[in-house]
Amino acid sequence: MSETVPMLDSLGALGAALRVQGSRVGVGELLAAHRALEAVDCCSREESRLALRAVLCSDRGDLSRFELAFAAVFGSGQVADDGNPLEELGTIARQALPRAAIPGSAAPAPGAAEESTAVPAAWSDVELLREKDFSHYTEAEMALARELIARLARRGPTRLSRRTRPVRRRRGHQPDLRRVLRASLRTGGDPVHRHWRAPRRRPRPVVLVCDVSGSMTPYARMLLQYLQASVAARRRVEAFAFGTRLTRITNELEGRDHDRALTRAAAAVSDFSGGTRIGAALAELNRVHGRRIGRGAVIVILSDGWDRGDPELLGAEMARLRRSAHRLVWLNPLAAHPDFEPLTRGMRAAVPHTDELLAGNSLASLEELASILEEI
């Protein structure tokens, strides 16, 4: 007993250190860790480290957090453990740098809480808002639009699943033998009543890729709201933000608390209101997240197409994305202008590979996106 108490204490400390970094470690994990230590040679530091790692990590991202927490609780042992010291340096540097908040939405004033629950005074308010350009929105209007955006975000594409559900007979459906048999018990073994099954409809994966560079700033705050609402409302939605590099913000945007989700996402994106390299961002999407996007997803890119990178790269990456996606939709706020022609170098490279080019500057255009998604 006297031996296990210090061990329990350090395990508790290790769990706490992991939780601080955002890993999910509960009592169950700590009990399992305790059992794991008994199963290995716990005099060996390396052995114990590996055992604890197997029990306490449940994700690749957890591995680096574990190394930090382990070093913090049990000391760093030999200096050359196989954790990478440079990585650690990177996170420290990032913590020291000032973080950008969502542009244009300064910290909510103390009295702003009521504002976020504002309801439209009359239908006409909403009607006026529909056509208004996002860049001309006031803070109050943004709060008003939130509810509408959340409603739009619930609408999305579906596809046929391989799971089936019982239906009335229509052509091409499979017989439901289970129910036929059950029914025939009642008719003395004769399958008098027939039953059928047909495929169900499931949500089709959606990937939203939002440009948060300088030129998109007036629109990014509203479009990010759409991203957040989509992630919260539907299953199988992935969200990314990019300026000069790509950041996956799906995990940050999850959860019911709308404001916190957006703050988390803003903290994760390190290049708000900076330059744009769409080609490089899409290259990363294709390579690092290719698996996650998978096949058969609808990919929506929200960007004005002002690209400072190589248009050839953008063209090639768009072609690749188009081939692995089910549909590729581009939302360009500039496209709302009646004289809009996709003339920027970036847009010219990208347009041949898109299935749909929409405006994306107002609620009306998001509504258009929602109906297109539903038809897909």
Partner 1 sequence: MTSLQIGSVEAVREALAADGYLADRPLALAVHLAVALEQPLLLEGEAGVGKTEVARALAASTGARLIRLQCHEGIDLHHAVYDWDYARQLLALRAAEEGVEEGELFSRRFLLRRPLLDALESDAPVVLLIDEVDRADDEFEAFLLEFLSDFAVTIPELGTIAARHRPVVVLTSNRTRELHDALKRRCLYHWIDYPNPEREREIVQQRIPGVPEAIATRVVTAVGRLREHGDLYKLPGVGETLVWARALLALGEDADLEETLGAALKVHEDVVRVRQGRVLEGV
Q: Which stretches of the chain bind partner 1, using CB under 8 A? A: 24, 26, 28-29, 32, 35-36, 39-40, 47, 50-51, 53-55, 57-60, 62-63, 161-163, 177-178, 180-181, 184-185, 188-191, 202, 235-236, 283, 286-287, 290-292, 294, 316, 320
CA neighbor of 251 nearest in space, from 261, 236, 242, 263: 261
Amino acid at 359: A
The encoded tokens of residue 152 equal: 């739009």
* 3-state SS class at 70: helix
The backbone region for 75, taken as left when phi is positive above 0, alpha when psi lies in -120 to 50, beta otherwise, is: left
What does the alpha-carbon distance between residue 359 and residue 256 come to, in Å, rounded to a whole number?
28
At which residue do the structure tokens 């706490």 appear? 16
CA neighbor of 205 nearest in space, from 260, 157, 273: 157
Nearest distance in Å: CB 148, partner 1: 28
Beta partners for residue 158, in sequence order: 203
At which residue do the structure tokens 């400390």 appear? 13
Chain Cα centroid distance, residue 90: 24
What does the alpha-carbon distance between residue 211 and residue 305 come to, in Å, rounded to a whole number?
9
249 touches 223 (CB < 8 A) = no
65 touches 21 (CB < 8 A) = yes
123, with CB counted inside 10 A (0-12, 13-18, 19+), is exposed
Nearest distance in Å: CB 340, partner 1: 31
* 3-state SS class at 56: helix
Beta partners for residue 241, in sequence order: 210, 247
150 touches 128 (CB < 8 A) = no
277 touches 307 (CB < 8 A) = yes
Quick one: CA dihedral 159, 161, 167, 168, positive or negative? positive
Angle formed by the axes of helices 27-39 and 45-56, to 10°?
A: 150
